[in-house]
Chains A and B, each alone.
Chain A
Amino acid sequence: MQLTLWTYEGPPHVGAMRIATAMRDVHYVLHAPQGDTYADLLFTMIERLPRRPPVTYTTFQARDLGGDTAELFKDAARQAIERFKPAAMLVGSSCTAELIQDDPGGLAHALKLDIPVIPLELPSYQRKENWGASETFYQLCRHLVLKPEEKTAKSRPSCNILGPSALGFRHRDDVKEITQLLNKLGVDINVVAPLEATVADIRKLADADFNVVLYPEIGMSTALWLLRQFDQPHTKTVPLGSNATQDFIREVCALAGIEVPAIEEMTARARWYAQSVDSTYLTGKRVYLFGDATHVVSAARIASEEMGFEVVGLGTYSREFAREVRDCAKKYGVEALITDDYLEVEAQITELHPELILGTQMERHIAKRHGIPCAVISAPVHVQDFPARYAPQMGLEGANVLFDTWVHPLMMGLEEHLLGMFKQDFEFHEGASPSHLGSARPAEIIVEQAVTQKEASNQATWSVEAEKELGKIPFFVRGKARRNTEKYALDQGVATITVDTLYDAKAHYSR
């Protein structure tokens, strides 16, 4: 049993829903209790879809449990086919139905339907949403993809785009951006899947020359299967950030057998923005990253190479990609945190006290509690991160969007300087939020004091003067200064921290 305040991923059947809802003629019959239809809201409200997800739920109640829930499932499946006339059907269980063991796959098989029926085995007490989406996409392709006919010679190479789905963080615009980029390079798109794909599209996946995997969490197992079955190679670079996009272009050109274009001209405006002197104060800002593996690994590279931040910690909830994230962390000399436990993430952030958090909707809760600026880089996200405007994360325009998004929550340079010089201004004081954000910043000072009191027992005590001096340090680095000083005092066996200790520590750590 795990205490969970927030969960990074939903159950695996929500992942299956994301595949079904992304596609155009697939229906999903889900054995689930009354109440699990809440998941429809994710699509109709958070993603604001103007249609109901193609999901029929059996919605059994307690009184049904004594009776024949299997019959209930069969009725639901039969009626769904009749009403929605899908080209293929997914069947499976939610967590509660898994416990009553009705075997939707077998039941649907017994109905002898004349469309492909794909049974889903999604262990709800073990796996989660992304795994569910990946497995569903893979099963769907395994059942449907046809061996390609003799390839007719084409004038342009073609590829599939794999991974974009319903409820994906910026999938809509990423697909548009990358499609444009590929077309510009001279590559045609065979199929984008699962987003907006039909069953007929899936059948012809193997016709493409290669695959572009935009979201490995969802598309990689299918890409690997296509590689095994049809010798279809796939891209390994995710085009997030200016540099990665350029690498991606080179990789695509190699796979497509075309010449690499003049890449120096293909840069994002973000690169100049980051070089301009206004951005100098961003140098060495201590940043913490958390999210799905793909976005964290890419964001770390951007943060370090393209923004000049210092990566002080990173982690992911994508256990399936733990190795990639660990390797990435090594590059920045940190240890990756692989966990789906929100409380562990919070503990690490408390410990590291970064100046900026790049994370998910959940890290925004932590950021609020600690008064740390935060930007969202990965799902889970809420309604505000399905914006009306064009807002890709990938490709060159994506890099521009990222620059604006990440810098926005930080205190602007001038304000930061003035705050360091004059503490007591009644309007621009350190408890207030950056003034360009308008609204109030929560009481991070209170949190900080609470933390100190709790930990005071095994720490050196602060003299009044030192405490006062500490107060003069800008708040976004004060937490770090406090911790460093205390650690220094402990290491040096200093019992009472004086102003001198504070500056000794500063000198010590600035080496």
Chain B
Amino acid sequence: MSPVIPIRAETTTGCTDVTPLVQRGQREVFCGLTGIIWLHRKIQDAFFLVVGSRTCAHLIQSAAGVMIFAEPRFGTAIIDERDLAGLADVHEELDRVVHQLLNRRPDIRMLFLVGSCPSEVIKLDLSRAAQRLNQIHHPAVRVLNYSGSGIETTFTQGEDACLAALVPGLPSMNPQVPSQTKPQLMVVGTLADVVEDQLRHLLEQMNITVNFFPPRNSQKMPAVGANTRFLLAQPFLADTARALQDRGAQHLPATFPLGIEGTTSWLQAAAQEFGVSPLLFEKVTAAPKQRAEKALAVHRQMLDGKRIFFFPDSQLEIPLARFLNREMNMDLVEVGTPYLHRQHMAAELALLPTGTRISEGQDVDLQLDRCVEDKPDMVVCGLGLANPLEAQGMTTKWAIELVFTPIQGYEQAADLAGLFSRPLRRREKLAA
């Protein structure tokens, strides 16, 4: 065991066999359309066109509209009565809207047609539309489709659906190219550019070359094939992982790179696969680990022994709970997740204290009752609940920020802890 990681009393199985609490009722979560808000920043030459209702358009702009855009890279094709009444051929209409859009934005190289609840319910075949539009606009623009509807996807699952849609189009590895005859590493899931650069640097110091997916530019898609080994950087990528496996890639099971422990074991999964010597691994990771440990200590003072309650939001809850419990000494009251993917979560679950209350899905009123009853020191929840809970005297951390902030890797460990200690510090300050 590394001396710098304060690991609590070891349990043998942790929560591996946990039966989550499942209650079905009102779910206070975002739909997958919200993924557009960070995906459009990551893939800079892509445009996201939602095919949906005014509600869908309103959702995206309410979330992103505080930024003032000279040229937004997302929009909505709003279905109207004429489309529903069959007076207008919906496919012709869509073609027209896409033409209008591409004329306005000739710099767009990739266009996503994003399905919504209304488009799913009226069974509008967007994959057919994407194929057709692809033929028209290729090679200037590639047209793809995925669904971000609320009936099918919850928040971050929108990214999963988007990346899974990209996988079939990834170039194949070419066995003729010498560099592609050996196993290659791919890191999957949107990461902040700064995090990407750090992780790449660490891996390269171990002589592992790595590709990131999604890339920053739609023209630079990584190749995939039987020699691909992939690490998931995000926990919500079930369909993407499956699609990659269908193309022969192998998943390296690991924890997620949150906190020192999570990052170390995540890197270790790659190191083992690529035959990196323990000595080299230690040499590369020692300094950043130490740095991170030092930085974390400040926040631990604030978080130690505090009781935390997670409402479901992004599927990041379990890895976050693991980090806060094992590295920050927080007590877990309830860990809610919108969806529990046991296989991808296996390494994480094993590290949670046995008996942790894990819930999957939600009945928000009942969950609020539990939360009020439990009186946790901190509640992680969405913005629909945060201010109302604060007004009741609870300290909250709004969950969405965890998706918008660089939190992975060693250098961000303290920033991650800081996201949780800040609301507590603020409450102290304002009370003083």
Contact = CB atoms under 8 A, between A and B. Distances in A.
Interface string B103-144: 010000000000001101110000000000000000000000
A36 interface: yes
Interface stretch (B22-30, B254-262, B266-274, B350-358): B22-30
B390 interface: yes
B149 A2 contact: no
Interface string A10-44: 11011000000000000000000111111111101
Contacts of B390: 50
B31 A34 contact: yes
Contacts, number: 194
Greatest chain A CB density within 10 A among B66, B72, B154 is at: B66
Interface stretch (B78-86, B182-190, B277-285): B78-86
Given A38-B63, A41-B62, A369 B70 contact: yes
B365 A83 contact: yes
B130 to A, nearest CB: 16
B26 A125 contact: no
Contacts of B27: 34, 37, 59, 61
Interface stretch (A92-100, A412-420, A498-506): A92-100
Contact of A1 (B25, B71, B94, B385): B94
B72 A33 contact: no
A1 B96 contact: yes
A397 B25 CA distance: 47
B342 interface: no
B13 interface: no
A11 B116 CA distance: 15
Interface stretch (B51-59, B300-308, B315-323): B51-59
Nearest to B34: A38
Contacts of A125: 53, 79-81, 83-84
Given A2-B77, A10-B55, A35 B149 contact: yes
Contacts of B101: 3
A96 B118 contact: yes
Contacts of B388: 44, 49-52
A430 to B, nearest CB: 18
Contacts of A34: 27, 29, 31, 150-151, 154
A368 B70 CA distance: 6
A16 to B, nearest CB: 13
A35 B383 contact: no
Contact of A2 (B65, B66, B80, B151): B80
A10 B65 contact: no
Interface in B130-178: 149-152, 154
B94 to A, nearest CB: 6
Contacts of A57: 26
A42 B93 CA distance: 31
Size range of the chain B interface in the assembly: 35 or more
Contacts of B66: 382-384
B75 interface: yes
Given A2-B77, A365-B68, A365-B69, A37 B384 contact: yes
B54 A7 contact: yes
Contacts of B57: 4, 6-7
Contacts of A38: 30-31, 34, 59, 62-63, 384
Given A10-B54, A11-B53, A51-B388, A56 B80 contact: no
Interface in A72-126: 76, 79, 83, 94-96, 99-100, 123-126
B195 interface: no
A286 interface: no
Contacts of B121: 65, 96, 99-100
A95 B55 contact: yes
A45 interface: yes
A61 B80 CA distance: 23
A382 B120 CA distance: 30
Contacts of A364: 68
B81 A126 contact: yes
Interface string A44-74: 1110111110001111111011000000000
A14 B58 contact: yes
B100 interface: yes
A361 interface: yes
B72 A5 contact: yes
Nearest to B90: A1
A65 B71 CA distance: 37
A44 B31 CA distance: 18
Nearest to B392: A50
A382 B66 CA distance: 6
A216 to B, nearest CB: 22
**3 tightest A-B contacts by CB?**
A35-B150, A35-B31, A50-B391
26 contacts: A1-B90, A1-B96, A2-B78, A5-B72, A6-B65, A13-B55, A14-B55, A34-B151, A36-B59, A37-B27, A39-B58, A40-B383, A41-B63, A41-B382, A49-B387, A50-B390, A50-B391, A52-B388, A62-B152, A65-B151, A79-B25, A123-B81, A124-B54, A125-B80, A343-B104, A368-B70
Given A44-B385, A125-B80, 18 more contacts: A1-B90, A2-B77, A3-B77, A7-B76, A10-B55, A34-B151, A42-B62, A46-B62, A57-B26, A61-B27, A61-B152, A96-B55, A99-B118, A123-B81, A125-B79, A126-B81, A365-B72, A368-B69
Interface of B: 25-34, 51, 53-55, 57-59, 61-63, 65-66, 68-72, 75-81, 83-84, 88, 90, 93-94, 96-97, 100-101, 104, 117-118, 120-122, 149-152, 154, 365, 382-388, 390-391
